[in-house]
């Protein structure tokens, strides 16, 4: 009687277990391994091997693997009311192949593909850190940045302030990068918080800020004469405006000798003179203002000694 009860209980549990799972099929894609598939399907490598009678980790593209889905994963989601949206949708990690080159090691390969050493070893079933030239490794596919490549902007003039992705060349140093893009090391670190600037590798990609490349020819000639455009009220940029975009596409630099005017052509060079002291400097128009007068950079305003005046006015001149 006890044995009969045990058999019945076993059959009930077995039936419940069998109906709690549903069989499904996964078709192997390029770059996938048993490990990556197990992570995607939320099962173990051992289960995949057992379900498909696999003796090793070898897979073929297009091969169909049987796996089982738990009942809780088959539950029909609640309908989404009109106007609602899903916050996020988890996507399987895409993989790619990497061919080992001379000088490569697991650390540099993992870092270049935003992986940990343990992930790289597990993804390729590596038992040691030894690599051979030409060896093919499965790596995490690096997502394309929303920023364009710097190469797209190396031809022609571009506005300052564009963020681009730059690929490190062999032997390129941080000092060379700072000089090329007119950036400070602090700015470069802020744009690349996950990058070790003390250990850059060839083909590594970083985010940089393009320097201004628009140049304006000086319209003044040796024989040119200045034409007086009149006396106008002067004002200065605020400290908080540093880095703001100007009408020329440059970023406002308080140390540069620049100015803004309502209609004088962008790129024009003006001679500006303090109406009271006669002290004057040349400034370049690179911005627009909606009011009359001349808005000077902080450095230009300081050199003209306008800071101490209650009602600052300047005379402006251009070449004839």
Per-residue model confidence as pLDDT tens digits over 254-266: 999 999 998 888 8
Same domain, residue pair 193 and 271: no
Whether residue 145 lies inside any domain: the answer is no
**pLDDT given at position 232:** 93
Q: Is 279 inside any structural domain? A: yes
Q: How confident is the model at residue 18 (pLDDT cuts 50, 70, 90)?
A: very low
CATH number of the domain enclosing 196: 3.10.350.10
Torsion of CA 36, 42, 91, 144, to 10 degrees: -20
- Amino acid 3: pLDDT: 54
CATH number for the domain including 271? 2.40.40.10
Tell whether 231 and 314 lie within a shared domain: yes
156: CB partners within 8 A, 6+ apart: 213
Which residue segment(s) compose the domain that 108 sits in? 95-140
- Other C-beta atoms lying within 10 Å of the C-beta of residue 241: 16
Same domain, 132 and 159: no
Contacts of 234 (CB under 8 A, 6+ apart): 272, 293, 294, 295, 296, 301, 304, 306, 312, 313, 314
In-domain check, residue 2? no
Q: Are residues 156 and 136 in the same domain?
A: no
Same domain, yes or no: 242 and 176:
no
- Is residue 83 assigned to a domain? no
Structure tokens at 122: 């597990």
Backbone angle region of 42, left / alpha / beta, with phi > 0 → left and psi within -120 to 50 → alpha = left
Does 233 share its domain with 299?
Answer: yes
Q: Is residue 214 part of a domain?
A: no
Residue 22 lies in a domain: yes
pLDDT at 193 over 60: yes
Q: Which of 70-84, 137-151, 275-289 has the lowest mean pLDDT?
A: 70-84
pLDDT at 33 over 60: yes
Predicted pLDDT of residue 188: 86
Over residues 232-248, the mean pLDDT reads 91
Assess whether pLDDT exceeds 60 at residue 35. Answer: yes
Domain assignment present for residue 242? The answer is yes
| Same-domain status, 55 and 100 | no
Q: Mean pLDDT across the chain, nearest whole number?
A: 76
pTM, two decimal places = 0.36
**Within a domain: residue 245?**
yes
Q: Examine the domain organization and report whether 235 and 286 are in the same domain.
A: yes
Q: Indicate the pLDDT class of residue 223, thresholds 50, 70 and 90.
A: low
DSSP 45-82: HHHHHHHHT-SSS---TT-EEEEEEEGGGGPPPPPPPT
pLDDT reading at 142 higher than 60: no
Residue 54 banded pLDDT, cuts 50, 70, 90: confident
Do 100 and 167 reside in the same domain of the chain? Answer: no
User: What is the pLDDT at residue 20?
Assistant: 47
Same domain, 230 and 315: yes
- 305 & 285 share domain: yes
Domain count, the chain: 4
């Amino acid at each position: 009687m006890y044995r009969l009860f045990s058999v019945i209980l076993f059959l009930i549990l077995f039936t419940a277990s069998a109906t709690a799972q549903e069989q499904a099929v996964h078709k192997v894609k390029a770059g996938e391994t048993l490990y990556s598939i197990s992570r995607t399907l939320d099962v173990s490598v051992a289960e995949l091997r057992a379900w498909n009678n696999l003796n090793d980790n070898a897979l073929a593209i297009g091969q169909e693997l049987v796996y089982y889905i738990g009942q809780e994963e088959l539950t029909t989601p609640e309908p989404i009311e009109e106007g609602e949206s899903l916050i996020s949708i988890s996507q399987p990690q895409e993989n790619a192949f990497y061919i080992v080159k001379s000088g490569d090691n697991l650390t540099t390969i993992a870092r270049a593909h935003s992986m940990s050493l343990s992930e790289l070893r597990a993804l390729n079933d590596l038992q040691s850190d030894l690599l051979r030239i030409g060896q093919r490794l499965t790596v995490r596919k690096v997502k394309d940045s929303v920023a364009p490549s710097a190469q797209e902007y190396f031809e022609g003039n571009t506005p300052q302030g564009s963020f681009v992705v730059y690929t490190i060349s062999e032997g390129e140093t941080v000092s060379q990068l700072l000089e090329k893009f007119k950036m400070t090391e602090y700015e470069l670190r802020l744009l690349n918080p996950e990058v070790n600037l003390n250990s850059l590798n060839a083909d590594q990609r970083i985010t940089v800020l393009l320097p201004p490349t628009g140049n304006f020819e000086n319209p003044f000639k040796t024989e040119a004469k200045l034409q007086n455009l009149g006396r106008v009220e002067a004002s200065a940029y605020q400290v908080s405006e540093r880095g703001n975009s100007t009408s020329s596409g440059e970023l406002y630099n308080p140390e540069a000798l620049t100015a803004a005017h309502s209609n004088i052509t962008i790129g024009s060079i003006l001679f500006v003179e303090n109406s009271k002291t006669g002290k004057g400097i040349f400034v370049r128009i690179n911005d627009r203002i909606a009011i009359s007068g001349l808005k000077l950079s902080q450095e230009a305003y300081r050199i003209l000694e306008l800071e101490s005046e209650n009602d600052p006015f300047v005379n402006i001149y251009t070449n004839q």
